Amino acid sequence: MTTLDDAPVAAEPLGNEARGRAAELHRIRALAYAGPSQRATDAQRAKGKLTARERIDLLLDEGSFREVETLRRHRATGFGLEDKRPYTDGVVTGWGTVHGRTVFVYAHDFRIFGGALGEAHATKIHKIMDMAISAGAPLVSLNDGAGARIQEGVSALAGYGGIFQRNTRASGVIPQISVMLGPCAGGAAYSPALTDFVFMVRETSQMFITGPDVVKAVTGEEITQNGLGGADVHAETSGVAHFAYDDEVTCLEEVRYLLTLLPQNNRENPPAVESQDPADRRGDVLLDLVPADGNRPYDMHKVIEELLDDGEFLEIHERWARNIVCALGRLDGQVVGIVANQPSVLAGVLDIEASEKAARFVQMCDAFNIPIVTLLDVPGFLPGVSQEHGGIIRHGAKLLYAYCNATVPRISIVLRKAYGGAYIVMDSQSIGADLTYAWPTNEIAVMGAEGAAGVIFRRQIAEAEDPEAKRAEMVKEYKAELMHPYYAAERGLVDDVIDPAETRETLIRSLAMLRTKHADLPSRKHGNPPQ
């Protein structure tokens, strides 16, 4: 069987006529499309992985893919490379459509040099990235590579530098999605980290800077590749991966769904659809879903389901920092971003990871013209030595900075508790929310009534014959004076107190008014956000 590696650099034409030349072209293309050998393809499938072209076919609309530089070959010599010059050089690049909208893509072909990046390989990726930026269309990378091509030395490393530079230049300009479908080690892992979203597949994809062998040699720790940098590790522990799935087919289908919620670039709005869910649909279930008692938990997902069109949404970082929920969905057919405290996890407090998760999501929404709806039920920041030493001030400031810097329409709703600095940080009116609403169950205050009464009335409680009875009396007095549902509304700190059942209609009408919002920012090169 003739393989890609066996193909001559310039085959003898099948005659001088144009038909012969065309036949020669189709023969060479067929070799490139087939890949290096059936043995290499079988080895790929034995690992539970699809080929690069099969993955592209799943991602893009049928028949829409247009490949560029199919016949590219490396020019490197030494270590036997001059005798092994396969077409594509181990990466398939091009563009197509997803639900009719243009998307650029590159896919590593693990069958060729293990998907390792060489000079020609990198140049192809640089070109397709430049095309995506120029055309103003999303870029999806299907990653399955063994890192830099060692035989090409520093030229391969320079190729990664070009990718990182373009990732950064494209950031906030076009959506960038990294799909991890195999190993990604060393410096190669930084490209996905620079993109907007990272998808991973369990068991077959891993990301780490130094592999298990290096870890064992340096620290003595023994760990598997999946234990070190598998999909579940990055989806639950490190927060590197936004999504993790069991198989490639499901993963790529979800990438297609995510693209329907994103604009082509930062100059466009996300695609709107016609909604069959009435804009004025009442949500009476919300009256029973959220307990008035601030100490009783509930699942914020159910609130979000009740508000959004048909109860559908895509949660970002679902399994990391679960005390805050970040999701994309639609209201009356228009895409919105939801940031919401989750009372069923750590009572919905803000901590280091929750602050980072929400900050990055807010920045993404702002970059791509997605209005932000914030649902508050937050008792404050998580106290503790580990949080303070871990830099909760610095990390919490990231969320504050992201909200203050966002110019997209912003609406916040206080469902229940909103205490202290966490209330301010979660898009309060004072940091620039366009509209702020509250439910009749809201409690907006510096701190909870129990803690406040203990501070303000410490002496009276200590001197009372029955301290506990006095404490209860003072708590009741503090609530009546400073924490009743209309205290903030009376002082203009919220725009209205609304019936929870009317929340969906209120949001839709408010966002429709804000659709033409325009905000001018001071002239500057860029801000200096807290790190």
DSSP-assigned letters across all residues of 104-161: EEEEE-TTTGGG-B-HHHHHHHHHHHHHHHHHT--EEEEE---SB-GGGTHHHHHHHH
Residue 97: its H or E element: strand 91-98
Is residue 100 part of the annotated active site? The answer reads no
Highest mean pLDDT (candidates 162-176, 456-470, 512-526)? 162-176
Distances (CA, A) of 398 to 24, 167, 497: 58, 21, 29
Rounded mean pLDDT of 331-337? Answer: 98
Residues 360 and 324 sit within 8 Å (Cβ to Cβ): no
Rounded mean pLDDT of 47-70? Answer: 94
Q: What is the mean pLDDT of the chain?
A: 90
**Options 137, 185, 244, 422, the catalytic residue:** 422
**Options 136, 421, 432, 451, the catalytic residue:** 421
**Options 187, 211, 390, 451, the catalytic residue:** 187
Is residue 462 part of the annotated active site? The answer reads no
The yes-or-no verdict on residue 83 having pLDDT over 90 is: no
The yes-or-no verdict on residue 499 having pLDDT over 90 is: yes
pLDDT at residue 2, as a whole number: 46
- Report pTM: 0.91
Is residue 418 part of the annotated active site? The answer reads no
Rounded mean pLDDT of 80-107? Answer: 87
Percentage of the chain modeled with pLDDT above 90: 65
The yes-or-no verdict on residue 11 having pLDDT over 70 is: no
23-33: pLDDT as tens digits: 888 888 888 78
Is residue 421 part of the annotated active site? The answer reads yes
The vertex-192 CA angle with 249 and 268, nearest 5°, equals 85
**Options 114, 136, 162, 186, the catalytic residue:** 186
The yes-or-no verdict on residue 1 having pLDDT over 50 is: no
* DSSP letter for each residue of 440-456: TT-EEESS-HHHHHHHH
Task: Give the integer Cα–Cα distance in Å for 440 and 496.
Answer: 10
Highest mean pLDDT (candidates 22-31, 113-122, 212-221)? 212-221
Count the neighbouring beta carbons within 10 Å of the beta carbon of residue 102: 15
Output the six-digit token pair for 306. Answer: 């009740």
